[in-house]
Structure 1
Amino acid sequence: MTRHLNSRRACVAGLTTLLLAGTAACSSSDDAGSGTASDSTYTWWDPYPQHNDSSAWAQRVQACGDEAGVAIERTAYDTTQLTNQALLAAQEGTSPDVILLDNPAVSTLADTGMLTTMDELGFDPAGIEENLLDAGVVDGEAYGIPIGANTLALYYNKGVLDAAGVDPASITDWDSLTAALQAVTATGAGGITFAGIGTEEGSFQFLPWFWGAGADLRDLDSPEALAALQLWKGWLDAGYAPNSVINNSQNTVWEEFLTGNFAFAENGTWQVNSAAEADFETGIIQLPAQDGGAAPAPTGGEFIVAPVQDDDARYETTTQIVECMTTPEGFVETATTFAYYIPPTDEGQEQLLAENPDLEVWVDAVREARGRTGDGLGTDYPVVSEALWTAVQEALSGVQSPEAALAEAQQDAESGTN
């Protein structure tokens, strides 16, 4: 069967180029968390080490094992380590039965041949929102199902806006947002804070402005890309954004916003509960596109995938576990457990909104969102993303002009992907 042939291709597919520094390709390992399991125990890996065995999330996972009539042995790694461990396990024949994987990594693992397709597991992903499913599609085959999605929007401090006479409903494009920032900073308050750090978080936060200008990740030095970078640089130069954005992570952005000094912060669905508990009244608007309407924000969140197994008999139970996580009710339960995931289906979203109508802005944002491996990049995305965040860093810090930084980024992306 193709799933067995694929498992033998994993090491041949160039894993040495996929493993991050510090891991050896095609070597043996005695790491804890091996995927080896008995017929009554199924192994599950996810990127949530912050959720221990007594957490609501761990109980959610175990409940799906109970429903399938098996015990689940759960191992949690941080996101980068999880991808590395998955690649090593494929070489050693110790892959777990189920992995929850950050969505940009799905194409990387699928490209090695170590994942079964959803068709092989008997799943029809037709009901999944296409913009969310795309991150897990390679050569027309879906290799996973998103268990939900998170994305970005603009949080605002109502008191700061009121003091500046700014109505958040008036912010519909870049010009109206910049005008609002000018009005706010004229009162002595901070304008906007965001994450321009030189990591994937920096690319993640820049992409809504990049895509909102109509730019394409295959053309990093286009006029549209330049407009987006000039927007951020212009805010920094005008004092509408603090110098700290150059090194801000998304957590740092949120800490700045919670001081109450800023009108706006770009951040994600995962801050919904924190915003509700802030010492000031907050609100949310979608990130505006350059000429109006909502900008496509990148999707965050994990896919549930099933690595290739030598024993075909395991797939039947694996399918039951995956089904438990991906029914409309299962999507909503996951969303409720995490308090920030939006279900990837219309039915799941409607059920979530029935329980929490305040999440409508986030549901709309997810419907407009786009997978980071889109624009036809697939496994080339990490190279392009690094070139992009480097350009943002150099432009914001004044090392290069936005034009020069993006021209260099395009050269680096081309040399790194050809």
Structure 2
Amino acid sequence: MIPTRRTLLAALAAVGTLASLTACGGGSGSSDSSSGKAGGTYTFWDPYPQFDASSAWGKLVTGCGTKAGVKLKRTAYDTTDLGNKALLAAQQGNAPDVMLVDNPVVSTLVEAGILNKTSDLGLDTKAIQKNIIGAGTIDNASYGVPIGANTLALYYNKKVLSAAGVDAASIKDWNSLTAALKKVKAAGKKGITFSAINTEEGSFQFLPWFWGAGGDLTKLNSARGVAALSLWKQWVDAGYAPKDVLQNTQTTSWQEFATGDYAFGENGTWQLGNAAKAGFDYGIINIPGQNGGSAPVPTGGEFVTVPVQKDTGRYDVSKKIVTCLTSDANLLPTDTTLQYVAPTAAVQAEQVKQNPKLKPWVDAVAAARGRTSGGLGTKYPTISQPMWTAVQAALSGSKSPQDALDTAQSSAQKG
């Protein structure tokens, strides 16, 4: 299907609301897509400007092109910029041959009609964990192959908990976590830090608590959603969490935890490298659900996709490139570099064998949900923005959790 200008403009607006969660920086480059014959040039876009051509990732991309018999010209953009440029390139008829995109953007690109189904390309996705590929599945069809996933859990400072007389294993639900925060504060330390900023990062961090209460994104103001927001407000009001969570990104939240003064920090797989450099012993537990068990957490990560081309003869080579990038042999070093959990059980097992500290993250990813899953698709941005706005209103004290989420629900319905 060739997207109309109107569809593309609507999709552009949706992509513009989705913020990068893991990538940083920016880039630029050409969307040249010359001859698809052997020895020709194929184009590849990714959201990893932090990795240059000499990096392990840069060399893998070049190598996969060589293996497919072509020169693979790589261009790196930051996540949001890449989505916007992809839509514009499709409108102009010069989309890249292969593109790695943030998983919430997949549904937007599909609605614009610019991605191929994996089944039409003959790509095998049977080994991929269902909830991971679910973030790129629309109407039971997948539109890309996930390169890996990241998600959220609670890092904890062993020394701070020990001094407060708290055993991390005792934290099973919201009540036991709140009781632990109370003890930590009484012992003269700080409780928990997280990101409640008014961007997608704020929604990303709120979702485990929202889903952990049984919340439904189509009913933001249900009693369950209100319970989750009330929990965060309780923590801020009691001084268990700092007021600056309203401005914290996931990076600044991590920096707070890294001071060694906090018992807990909600953050992601991507902080493992920094955790090893923090200078104190840490542990990781899954975010608890309201009444016990592990709360569902949102999946982050990217999908390797193949945009629609006028010359369909190019797809055979594109398939080879995608297969190379997502093979088990290449996923292991790639996901280690990106600090991602692999999308297949076989590679996950190898990751844990190499680094046992990944085990809690593998468990967390197994319980994770795609933000656009469950049929939400491009509706997700119109829900996420009112949700993070409600979090801001409640934590700042300008509205009660119920009133804030009532407003959010009304706004989401209009969207």
Alignment TM class, shorter chain as reference: over 0.9
1:92 aligns to 2:92 (yes or no): yes
* 1:65-117 C-alpha deviation (Å, 9 max, x unpaired): 12212211111111111011000010111000111000000000011111111
State the partner residue of 2:388. 389
1:145 aligns to 2:128 (yes or no): no
State the partner residue of 1:257. 257
Partner Cα separation in structure 2 for residue 374 and residue 195 of structure 1: 23
* 1:183-231 C-alpha deviation (Å, 9 max, x unpaired): 0010110100000000000000000000000001000000100000000
Deviation at 1:351, TM superposition (A): 1.9
Moved more, 371-380 or 243-252: 371-380
Counterpart code for 2:7:
G
1:316 aligns to 2:296 (yes or no): no
* 1:334-383 C-alpha deviation (Å, 9 max, x unpaired): 11222x11111111211222222221011000001100012421110011
Instruction: Evaluate the alpha carbon distance shift between residue 329 and residue 21 of structure 1 in structure 2; reply closer, same or farther with a 3 A threshold.
Output: closer
1:36 aligns to 2:29 (yes or no): no
Partner Cα separation in structure 2 for residue 106 and residue 283 of structure 1: 33
Counterpart code for 2:49:
P
Partner Cα separation in structure 2 for residue 366 and residue 114 of structure 1: 28
Other structure's SS at 1:283 match? strand
Other structure's SS at 1:125 match? coil
State the partner residue of 1:123. 123
Q: Give the conservation status (yes or no) of the 8 Å contact 2:44–2:99.
A: yes
TM-score, normalised to structure 1, is 0.93
Gap runs ≥5 in structure 1: 1-5, 24-30
Instruction: Evaluate the alpha carbon distance shift between residue 22 and residue 390 of structure 1 in structure 2; reply closer, same or farther with a 3 A threshold.
Output: closer
Deviation at 1:12, TM superposition (A): 4.3
Partner Cα separation in structure 1 for residue 340 and residue 370 of structure 2: 15
State the partner residue of 1:105. 105
Show the 5 A alignment for 1:333-372: 333-338=333-338, 340-372=339-371
Give the length in aligned residue pairs: 401
Other structure's SS at 2:350 match? helix
Moved more, 373-382 or 97-106: 373-382
Partner Cα separation in structure 2 for residue 37 and residue 398 of structure 1: 56
Partner Cα separation in structure 2 for residue 128 and residue 224 of structure 1: 31
Runs in 1 of length 4+ with deviation above 3 angstroms?
20-23
Counterpart code for 1:228:
A
CA RMSD in angstroms, aligned pairs only: 1.5
Counterpart code for 2:335:
A
Other structure's SS at 2:398 match? coil
Partner Cα separation in structure 2 for residue 120 and residue 82 of structure 1: 24
Q: Give the conservation status (yes or no) of the 8 Å contact 1:13–1:112.
A: no
Instruction: Evaluate the alpha carbon distance shift between residue 313 and residue 21 of structure 1 in structure 2; reply closer, same or farther with a 3 A threshold.
Output: closer
Partner Cα separation in structure 2 for residue 68 and residue 337 of structure 1: 23
State the partner residue of 1:226. 226
Partner Cα separation in structure 2 for residue 186 and residue 171 of structure 1: 18
Q: Give the conservation status (yes or no) of the 8 Å contact 2:8–2:112.
A: yes
Partner Cα separation in structure 1 for residue 343 and residue 236 of structure 2: 36
Show the 5 A alignment for 1:15-414: 15-20=8-13, 32-39=29-36, 40-338=40-338, 340-414=339-413
Moved more, 65-74 or 396-405: 65-74
Partner Cα separation in structure 2 for residue 355 and residue 67 of structure 1: 27
Counterpart code for 1:373:
T
Counterpart code for 2:377:
G
Deviation at 1:181, TM superposition (A): 0.2
* 1:107-130 C-alpha deviation (Å, 9 max, x unpaired): 000111111110111013222111
Q: Give the conservation status (yes or no) of the 8 Å contact 1:216–1:375.
A: no
Other structure's SS at 1:393 match? helix
Deviation at 1:22, TM superposition (A): 12
Other structure's SS at 1:84 match? helix
For 1:11, which of 4, 11, 31 is the aligned residue?
A: 4
Other structure's SS at 1:304 match? strand
State the partner residue of 2:20. none
Partner Cα separation in structure 1 for residue 403 and residue 32 of structure 2: 47
Identity %: 56
Deviation at 1:15, TM superposition (A): 1.6
Gap runs ≥5 in structure 2: 17-27
Counterpart code for 1:197:
I
